[in-house]
A and B are shown apart, each in its own frame.
Chain A
Amino acid sequence: MIIRNQHQPLKSALEALLRPNVIRLGKNLYGVDFDTMKVIPAFYTAQRALEMGELKEGAPIIETTSGTMGRGYAYAGRALGIPVKLVSDPVLATPLKNELESLGCEVHIVQTTADNGDVQALRLARIYELLEQHPGAYWGRQYDNPLNADSYGAVAEQLVDEVGDVHCLVATVGSGGSSGGTAKYLRKLNPKLRLIGVDTHGSVIFGQPKCSRPFRGLGNSLVPKNVRHDAFDEVHWLGAPEGYAATRILHRRQGMFKGPTSGAAFWVAQWYAAAHPDQVVVALLPDSGHRYADTVYNDQWLACQGLTCKAMPIAPDTVFSPSERMVGWTRIDWKRRTLAEVLPLTSASETMK
């Protein structure tokens, strides 16, 4: 628990990473402005693993990542004095790799010419190799480690402290940690809290058929154990052009230079907030825009990739089955059901056609 005293400087740079600013974006809309959200689960997981004795003194934390979880562990490990070994593939951007190595992380890049599935297998094989080499090491396992979700109790705490009662939480879903964890603790006070998950077309998390996902950093090609489907009241899918355009709107409208998942969460949240003026709506904005300066923020790149958004939709289309073919911006009333509860209906409606 970190209580910021407004009249005192922060105790450390880590405290700044662990305590994001909560920013008012509209009459009934707030954004949680994380620089790197994943520092929160990384720090909590590492701290608990040490405390429970699952991570031995001097042994490393190991994680497979090509995104911001590595950055989270790099900063958490530095603060706690824990060595960090990360396994990634050539997708890892050079500036991020430099930053991680500058912090003292060991970055293992698995080289392959095979397709994407094999890269995951190779990364996993390297993880097991490292675990064998380093007795007492701890594997973070962000997709199925319950500590990942539980760490977001700190975010719920800060939200209640600063905003008070929250009626609706909008979060993008990748590992299920931030959405499920924050909602779980907010619901201890307000069980009726509406949780809206934001995903992208081609991500299997909420039952879309698996296909290539141009949207960077959103969705998943597997269903992580940490995603508690029955916690969600509503699910939205945004395509890359819409999500990227929303990110640019957030930048121009609020002066917030954020990553594309932030744009997607913001867009869904501002739509819900406008439709429900009596509710307090909060959007989690996971990372800053610096890693996307030559992509999402580059009009030429967008045009080359065919990801320019011609007309930004102002409202989503409601779908009745997550396995429908989708374009643009869609939503479904998930109604706190499990994936299995939603999918049988889907196959039934499919056969009816």
Chain B
Amino acid sequence: MKTHCQSSEISPHPTCWTTAPHPAGSPRRSKATPSSIVANQHCGVGVCSAHQGELVQGVIRTSEGVKRRVLLTCPRPDLVSHARFVLDTDSPAIHGAEGASKANAAVRKTLDFLGRNKCGGQFLLNNNIDSGHGNGASTADVVAVTRAVADACGIQLPPEDQARIAVAAEGASDGIMFDEPVLFAQREGVVVERFAGRLPPRAGLNFDTDPEGPGVDTLALKPANFDDDEIMEFGVVIAAVRHAIHHRDVDLMGRATTASARLNQRFLPLRHFAAIDKIRQEVGAAGIHISHSGTVAGMIWRLDHPELNVMMEVASEALRDLGCGRLSSYTVY
């Protein structure tokens, strides 16, 4: 991939905010590079959406007998992080927002990955994602800034490389850099399996089980140590996800996400889990899914459910009564 980052391959970027006022004043022109480079080559943008926890998460045993922690991210396209980056070819210093150390690390890793060890720059982040609730705010920032840096260098990084950089910057990541559903090994940053198709059409309700709470410190979580029996059960869950995606079967998808959520209660119990599971049954939802490092969760229905709107209304009411908040609904056709 590094062969792509020669200046001769730099192409214009329609996504670049060339007319917007620049955060660091006018982009600095490198004295080392000749005038063939146009102004916007030093400035890049990147966008990445967040997630509503994970549809499933657990441990698998590969055919080589190796245990791997894997997850399938539940996309949340309405929560996004925008990043802008201005490349500085003269100095390796990186300037960014206060407290954005992971994003800072991601900028460095991306530049190094692209062979620009001597370059630095300035980044700006803007997002509408609350952190600490399991929406993947920090990963969205990291991926957005990685994309912005690559964009500034005139390169489109494949999601596999974005994943590797995110894991190097954060220690663990989720799979939001992939547009299609993948089984993602969050500690190695690699795709274990690509599912054949998109997530099934569904209606969904997102919520936060502890909206006023302090959130969860991801790094303080102890890793879920699945025993052999739980690994076996999770294998069945993944098989259900595979079949559900291939056959666009929301009911089976819901069974898989519910089974996975239940399996993980031993490691990070979700507030009101039993009560939420009871609501799921009462409102005829296909399943519930949770965050494995936060307090957010969701419920999904099949689109042809005869009383969909009423049921979603009843579910919202019941969830609010439990103390859940930050509710939002969506439909995927």
Interface, chain A (partner B; CB < 8 A): 1-3, 11, 47-48, 150, 153-154, 156-165, 185-186, 188-190
Contacts and interface: CB of A to CB of B under 8 A. Distances in A.
Nearest to B256: A189
Contacts of A165: 249, 251-252, 255
B227 to A, nearest CB: 10
Interface string B59-70: 011110100000
A165 B60 CA distance: 21
A284 B193 CA distance: 28
B243 A188 contact: no
Contacts of A153: 229, 232-233, 235-236
Contacts of A150: 228-229, 232
Contacts of B65: 47
Given A2-B63, A11-B63, A189-B255, 9 more contacts: A47-B65, A48-B228, A153-B232, A161-B243, A162-B243, A164-B247, A185-B232, A185-B233, A189-B259
Interface in B95-132: none
Interface in B237-265: 237-240, 242-244, 247, 249, 251-252, 255-256, 259
A2 B256 CA distance: 19
B255 A157 contact: no
Interface string B247-288: 101011001100100000000000000000000000000000
A267 to B, nearest CB: 28
Contacts of B193: 3
27 contacts: A1-B61, A1-B235, A3-B63, A3-B193, A47-B65, A150-B228, A153-B229, A153-B233, A154-B232, A154-B235, A156-B239, A157-B235, A160-B236, A160-B240, A160-B243, A161-B242, A162-B243, A164-B247, A165-B251, A165-B252, A165-B255, A185-B233, A185-B236, A188-B237, A189-B237, A189-B240, A189-B252
Contacts of A190: 255
Contacts of A163: 243
A186 B233 CA distance: 9
A82 to B, nearest CB: 15
B236 A186 contact: yes
A188 B234 CA distance: 9
Interface of B: 60-63, 65, 193, 228-229, 232-233, 235-240, 242-244, 247, 249, 251-252, 255-256, 259
A268 B233 CA distance: 28
A167 to B, nearest CB: 12
Contacts of B60: 1
A161 B239 contact: yes
Contacts of B236: 153, 156-157, 160, 185-186, 188-189
Contacts of B63: 1-3, 11
A1 B62 contact: yes
Nearest to B260: A188
A180 to B, nearest CB: 13
A160 B239 contact: yes
Nearest to A189: B255
Contacts of A1: 60-63, 235, 238
Contacts of B256: 189
B29 to A, nearest CB: 51
Contacts of A188: 233, 236-237, 259
Contacts of B252: 160, 164-165, 189
Contacts of A2: 63
A48 B256 CA distance: 26
Name, among B239, B240, B256, the residue most crowded by chain A CB atoms within 10 Å (CB to CB): B239
Contacts of A156: 236, 239
A154 B235 CA distance: 8
B131 to A, nearest CB: 33
Contacts of B239: 156-161
Name, among A11, A157, A158, the residue most crowded by chain B CB atoms within 10 Å (CB to CB): A157
Contacts of B237: 188-189
Nearest to B240: A160
Nearest to B233: A188
A153 B227 CA distance: 13
Contacts of B244: 164
B65 to A, nearest CB: 7
B249 A164 contact: yes
A126 B263 CA distance: 42
A285 to B, nearest CB: 20
Nearest to B193: A3
Given A1-B62, A150-B228, A164 B243 contact: yes
Nearest to A2: B63
B56 to A, nearest CB: 12
A161 B235 CA distance: 10
Name, among A47, A48, A160, A165, the residue most crowded by chain B CB atoms within 10 Å (CB to CB): A160
Nearest to B63: A2
Contacts of B255: 165, 189-190
A165 B244 CA distance: 10
Nearest to B229: A150
Contacts of B247: 164
A158 B259 CA distance: 17
A186 B251 CA distance: 15
A62 to B, nearest CB: 22
A32 to B, nearest CB: 14
Contacts of A159: 239
A190 B242 CA distance: 16
Contacts of B229: 150, 153
A185 B249 CA distance: 20
B192 to A, nearest CB: 10
Contacts of B235: 1, 153-154, 157
A284 B237 CA distance: 21
